[in-house]
């Protein structure tokens, strides 16, 4: 149910930039200057990369639904219901009042809502996630998008235009971090005990699969600069989505994830769920051997099959056809995953927008387990940590309902001289706790290497 909506009229302009600014550097500079920042970047030929700076309006979670707020904090409206579905409704209504001249009509250009949501979008995250609401979609005052090799700026707040003319970031005033002191939130032996207990419960029929995560606390001997972290992640993991979301309390959420939750363009939706992992080899021959072992692993094939099937089923009510490719091994800098590309032709009469599809898909078995309800109950009883936005999603959506959301993995919550890192594994009835521990260590490496440059 909607409360009375005060639809603000926001006017702006879109222009193509002659140069090609470094989006991660721009995000870092803006954050250092005290602006709110959201960055989602994937430097692939057909991908959309976008940074949003400042706030024109936003949609945030509230008791019983979501509310819209102006930049001054005025409540513009409220939509009751499950938060993600309610946010999709409210954004559709609000976007009608946002006008930008010379909008080129390309995906990711013009006025956008950027943001994301927690692993549990129906519950406000507990500490240490005070700076992040369960759901946040923000229309920034300045949006810079890179699409198919072209860069566009959409300006809704003229005061932010000067950011487009700033020189590269100056040298940091404080020394950067060079050494990290690492402390697991839970001792490895105790965590492996939780994995063994989970496997026992799965063998007893409690669920088919459950995902358990670990938390690692890093204390640094210098400053951890969020902008430098995402630039380092982008360089090390060029095929991944790199992202940065500044928190209201001065923290920042950053990471590099390989997994696409959903991309919606027109009447087509694409998902690429991943489940089942192995390390990279020292050379091509070892890479191929490890990939072959992954494809042949009964445990990993079963885990992956559950995930791909759940994604197909979640898309089916919104589509006339849903097709899934055969599982394949996709390679990233330090890890290989089993992945399935799922494509759906959405119903032509009022195709579901990207955020509505994300609401139906999340959480997939790749980050929760299966069946969803049973898996979430096991996570609550066995995991012992506050996930916050870890295993939630980050992305963007536009007024047409197009958009892209990535699963928030390989990530951490950063503050001035420290970070909380998160990594999870899919536990199956025959899981080996030591092997699952080793997989989390492999996944932690993504952010650990970036924290010290």
The 10s digit of each residue's pLDDT in 231-258 is 999 998 888 999 999 999 999 999 999 9
- Predicted confidence at residue 298, as pLDDT, reads 85
Q: What is the mean pLDDT of residues 398-422?
A: 94
Q: What contacts 301, CB < 8 A, 6 or more positions away? A: 276, 295, 327, 338
pLDDT band at 104 (very low <50, low <70, confident <90, very high): confident
Parallel, antiparallel or unpaired: strands 328-331 and 418-427: unpaired
- Predicted confidence at residue 207, as pLDDT, reads 95
Q: What is the mean pLDDT of residues 151-179?
A: 77
Q: How many CB atoms lie within 10 A of CB 123?
A: 11
- Predicted confidence at residue 279, as pLDDT, reads 82
pLDDT at 172 over 70: no
pLDDT tens digits along 305-329: 888 999 999 999 999 999 999 888 8
pLDDT tens digits along 56-93: 999 999 999 999 999 988 999 999 999 999 999 999 99
User: Does 259 participate in catalysis according to the annotation?
Assistant: yes
Q: What is the mean pLDDT of residues 201-207?
A: 96
180-451 CATH: 3.60.120.10
Domain range summary for the chain, segments of one domain joined by +: 10-156, 180-451
pLDDT tens digits along 252-299: 999 999 999 999 999 999 999 988 888 888 889 898 998 888 888 888
More confident residue, 401 or 2: 401
User: Does 299 participate in catalysis according to the annotation?
Assistant: no
3-state helix, strand, coil in the chain (%, to 5): 30, 35, 35
Exactly one of 209, 215, 303, 439 is catalytic; name it.
209
Distance, in Å, from the CA atom of 182 to the CA atom of 220, rounded to the nearest integer, reads: 9
pTM above 0.85, yes or no: yes
pLDDT at 171 over 50: no
* C-alpha torsion angle, residues 283, 288, 294, 297 (rounded to 10): -120
Distance, in Å, from the CA atom of 307 to the CA atom of 253, rounded to the nearest integer, reads: 26
- Predicted confidence at residue 452, as pLDDT, reads 80
- Predicted confidence at residue 3, as pLDDT, reads 60
Exactly one of 259, 303, 404, 436 is catalytic; name it.
259
Q: What contacts 55, CB < 8 A, 6 or more positions away? A: 36, 71, 138, 139, 140, 141
Parallel, antiparallel or unpaired: strands 10-16 and 98-101: parallel
């Amino acid at each position: 149910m909607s409360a009375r909506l005060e639809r603000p009229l926001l006017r702006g302009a879109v222009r193509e930039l002659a140069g090609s600014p470094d989006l991660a550097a721009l995000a870092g500079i803006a954050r250092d200057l005290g602006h709110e920042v959201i960055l989602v970047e994937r430097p692939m030929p057909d991908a959309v990369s976008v940074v949003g700076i400042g706030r024109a309006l936003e949609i945030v979670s509230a008791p019983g639904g979501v509310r819209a707020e102006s930049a001054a904090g005025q409540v513009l409206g409220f939509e009751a219901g499950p938060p993600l579905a309610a946010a999709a409704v409210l954004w559709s209504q609000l976007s009608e009042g946002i006008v930008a001249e010379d909008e080129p009509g390309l995906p990711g250009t013009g006025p956008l809502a950027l943001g994301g949501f927690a692993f549990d979008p129906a519950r406000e995250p507990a500490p240490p996630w005070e700076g992040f609401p369960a759901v946040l979609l923000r229309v920034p005052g300045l949006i810079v998008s890179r699409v198919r090799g072209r860069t566009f700026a959409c300006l809704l707040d003229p005061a932010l235009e000067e950011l487009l003319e700033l020189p590269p970031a100056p040298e940091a005033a404080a020394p950067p971090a060079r050494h990290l002191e690492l402390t697991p939130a839970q001792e490895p032996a105790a965590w492996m005990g939780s994995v063994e207990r989970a496997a026992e419960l799965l063998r007893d029929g409690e669920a088919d699969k459950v995902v358990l995560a670990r938390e690692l606390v890093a204390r640094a001997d210098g400053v951890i600069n969020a902008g430098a972290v995402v630039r380092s992640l982008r360089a090390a993991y060029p095929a991944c989505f790199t992202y940065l979301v500044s928190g209201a309390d001065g923290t920042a959420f950053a990471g590099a994830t390989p997994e696409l939750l959903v991309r919606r363009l027109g009447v087509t939706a694409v998902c690429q769920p991943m489940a089942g992992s192995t390390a990279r080899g020292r050379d091509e021959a070892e890479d191929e051997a490890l990939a072959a072992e992954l494809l042949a692993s009964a445990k990993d094939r079963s885990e992956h099959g559950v995930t791909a099937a759940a994604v197909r089923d979640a898309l089916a009510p919104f589509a006339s056809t849903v097709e899934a490719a055969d599982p394949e091994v996709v390679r990233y800098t330090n890890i290989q995953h089993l992945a399935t590309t799922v494509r759906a032709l959405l119903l032509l009469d009022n195709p579901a927008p990207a955020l509505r599809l994300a609401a139906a898909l999340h959480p997939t078995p790749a980050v929760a387990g299966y069946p969803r309800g049973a898996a979430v109950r096991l996570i609550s009883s066995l995991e012992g940590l506050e996930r916050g936005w870890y295993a939630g999603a980050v992305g963007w959506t536009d007024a047409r309902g197009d958009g892209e959301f990535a699963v928030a993995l390989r990530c951490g919550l950063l503050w001035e001289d420290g970070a909380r890192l998160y990594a999870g594994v899919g536990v199956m009835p025959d899981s080996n706790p030591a092997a699952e521990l080793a997989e989390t260590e492999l996944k932690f490496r993504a952010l650990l290497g970036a924290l010290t440059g």
